């Protein structure tokens, strides 16, 4: 198991002290703000430099193990299930990974987020996580909370999603039959046109008042 043990140690900093630590970066924003697009672009940029990476996702809009963006980009990915041990997976991957792309990270378990942090610190793997901050009740997802707590750097994505009123969209509303829902399971996937549950990005004002507008795009 010498290969595995070699993965677990970070080369010591030289006398120059120029060793660069791996990083855990978290990019967040509401639905439609370009998170998956940035995840795919980040993967492309690193792979082009010859770095070895892996792309993970959970409950992608495609319904399959892929990262897809609403503007039409897509790439294969590994589906994260609740009992997946990401740390063991990465430690057992040869050649060793340089980075991980983690899309839809709000759906991961808290334990999986902690595994990402351990991979950064113990295996020198850069982790780029992308996800929603808050659920349909405007409360943080548990995995997102853990990312805020553990990430080296947190970025709010600057691509603005507009509420129907034109203000910056900030919160992810869940609707059923045209009515805003404020109670229910945290994770309900709206993956078909027939699904009664839809999601809509609203500004804080209209999220709090429950006004969905009349010509709002529904997903």
Residues forming contacts to Zn ion in the complex (CB under 5 A) are 163, 165, 167, 203, 206
Buried b (16+ CB within 10 A) or exposed e, 184-210: eeeebebeeeeeebbbbbbbeebbeee
Nearest 10 degrees: Cα torsion 142, 63, 94, 92: 50
CB-nearer residue toward Zn ion: 93 or 209: 209
- For the CA atoms of 41, 44, 46, 48, the dihedral, rounded to the nearest 10 degrees, stands at -140
User: Residues 104, 149, 185, 194: which is the catalytic one?
Assistant: 104
Q: Is 104 a catalytic residue?
A: yes
Shortest reach from residue 219's CB to Zn ion, in Å: 17
Least CB distance to Zn ion at residue 102 (A): 30
Min CB(204)–Zn ion separation in Å: 8
C-alpha to C-alpha distance for 83 and 132, rounded to whole angstroms? 21
Instruction: Provide the minimum distance between the beta carbon of 167 and Zn ion in the complex, in angstroms, as a whole number.
Output: 5
Nearest to 71 by CA among 24, 35, 25: 35
Return the beta strands (E) in the chain as ranges: 24-28, 53-57, 66-68, 74-76, 78-79, 99-102, 126-131, 153-156, 171-176, 179-181, 197-202
Q: Give the Å distances, CA to CA, from 9 to 67, 113, 119, 145, 218.
A: 31, 20, 11, 28, 48
Q: How far is the CB of 96 from Zn ion (least distance, A)?
A: 47
Decide whether 107 or 164 has the Cβ nearer to Zn ion.
164
* Cβ nearer to Zn ion, comparing 96 with 167: 167
Residues carrying an active site annotation: 104
């Amino acid at each position: 198991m010498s290969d595995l043990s070699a993965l677990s140690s970070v080369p010591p900093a030289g006398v120059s002290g120029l060793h660069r630590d791996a990083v855990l970066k978290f990019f967040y924003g509401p639905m439609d703000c370009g998170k998956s697009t940035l995840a795919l672009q980040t993967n492309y940029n690193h792979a082009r430099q010859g770095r070895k990476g892996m792309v993970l996702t959970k409950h992608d809009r495609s319904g399959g193990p892929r990262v897809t963006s609403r503007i039409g980009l897509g790439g294969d990915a590994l589906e994260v299930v609740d009992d997946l041990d990401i740390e063991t997976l990465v430690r057992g991957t040869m050649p060793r990974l340089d980075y991980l792309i983690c899309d839809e990270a709000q759906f991961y378990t808290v334990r999986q987020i902690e595994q990402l942090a351990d991979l950064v610190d113990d295996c020198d793997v850069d982790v780029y996580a992308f996800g929603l901050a808050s659920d349909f009740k405007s409360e943080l997802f548990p995995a997102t909370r853990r990312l805020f707590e553990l990430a080296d750097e947190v970025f709010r994505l600057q691509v603005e999603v507009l509420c129907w009123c034109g203000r910056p969209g900030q919160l992810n509303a869940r609707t059923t039959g045209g009515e805003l829902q404020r109670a229910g399971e945290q994770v309900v996937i709206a993956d078909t046109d027939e699904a009664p549950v839809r999601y809509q990005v609203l500004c804080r004002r209209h999220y709090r008042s429950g006004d969905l507008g009349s010509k709002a795009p529904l997903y």
